[in-house]
Amino acid sequence: MPNQAPPQASPPRALRWAVAGSVIVMIAAGGLFYYASKMAAAKRQTNHDEVVVTIHPHSCEPNALTVPAGRASFRIVNRSDRAVEWEILDGVLVVEERENIAPGLSQVINANLLPGDYAITCGLLSNPRGTLHVTPTAASDAAAKARPSMVAFIGPLSEFRVYLNSQSTALIKAVTALEQAIEAGDLSQAQALYVPARAAYQRLAPAAQRLAELDNAINARADYFDKREQDAGFVGFHRLEYALFQQRNLDGLTPIAQRLISDVTALKQQLLAQSLPPEQLVSILVRNLNSLAEVRASSGEEERYSHTDLNGFAANLDATRKVVDLLRPLLSKSAAQLLPKIDSAITAFDAELNGFKVKEGYASYDTVSPEQRKHIADKAKVLADALDGIDPALGLSGL
């Protein structure tokens, strides 16, 4: 009989299942890749005008930008080794900023820009500044012509100036008392007086943060300096905080405290000298609350040595409540339906913070859990979003 080829054995069942599983995984991966590609394409389409800026340890790329007037989006990519900030400046005034961009990550800054020339900061405060040229458009020209009468805003802006004056005076007094305790060598008293002095600044923070140079001298964190806490340029509140609560040592601190008195005195002068356009009265609050919601509440980095963050959040809310009350008569006429939403958001944020009140003020922020921090951030974000409806309601959006 002729030799017959032995019948080929069928692949083991396990092997067949493995091959089938591999095919399914490949199909699924392909589907996910396709879906991700479509999502990325959609995002690029949505943000087709997004300008990408990369922050390196000592430079930005590019550092000279040109965009049309109106809404612009900037994606800031941090390729340095520390958390940094990026700002758009109009002279000494901050137009828009993004703080605490973590290493290796990116964040988006959305800004509504008027035609003109601006400066941009780049990571460390010692890094060279860049330029931003904003060209006029037909829409920006039309918005300028359609600008509403400013007569109705004279009262609220004048009252806000009175608020800035009184709060600045309180800040100078509080910092002077802090300096005296430091000069007397009384650590426990200086620690106690740091809290009200810091809260006094936070009531001014939305307006003060417009003044880039002074705010950097008064409020900059150690991350923004080349040598961090050991950098000679690291002064202001957080330098005092570091010595009082981390080092627990007053040696050599008196000149820093005296410099802070000088800086907060200059802050009062500049706040009263600078005019505040009505369209910025609410936007400075929104920016401050968004920073609280997106960075400060979750990280606890604002008061990383003293953990007094909650006192600052409550002071920020005080400033917000003041501005809303100043605009209440205008809103009652133009946007009565918006007021309950804003008042509800203020009440909810206030109630959230009140849950952390203790006998001497507020609980230490290092005792606040991540879940509780998220609740604080959520309440701040809801309030920021509610306030964001004020300018369109008053005819100030797009200016």
138: pLDDT confidence band, cut at 50, 70 and 90?
confident
* Full set of structural domains in the chain with CATH: 51-138 (2.60.40.420), 151-393 (1.20.1420.20)
Note the pLDDT tens digit of each residue in 188-226.
999 999 999 999 999 999 999 999 899 999 999 999 899
Q: Which is nearest to 217 in space by CA: 197, 237, 194, 245?
A: 237
Give per-residue burial for 52-74: e unless 16+ CB within 10 Å, then b. Answer: ebbbeeebbeebebebebbebbb
pLDDT at 5 over 60: no
- Tell me the per-residue pLDDT of 84-122, one tens digit each, with 9 for 90 and over: 888 998 887 788 888 888 889 998 988 888 899 999 998
- Alpha carbon 133 to chain centroid distance? 23
Check residue 11 and give its pLDDT: 52
pLDDT value of position 366? 96
Element (DSSP H or E) covering residue 46: helix 13-46
Which of residues 154 and 170 earns the better pLDDT score?
170
- Which of the residue ranges 56-70, 210-224, 268-282, 313-327 has the most confident prediction, judged by mean pLDDT? 313-327
Query: Is 23's pLDDT higher than 70?
Result: no
Average pLDDT over the chain reads 86
Distance, CA of 212 to CA of 51 (rounded, Å):
23
Residue 230 reports pLDDT greater than 90: yes
Closest CA to 201 of 146, 156, 238: 238
* 43-60: pLDDT as tens digits: 434 445 799 999 999 889
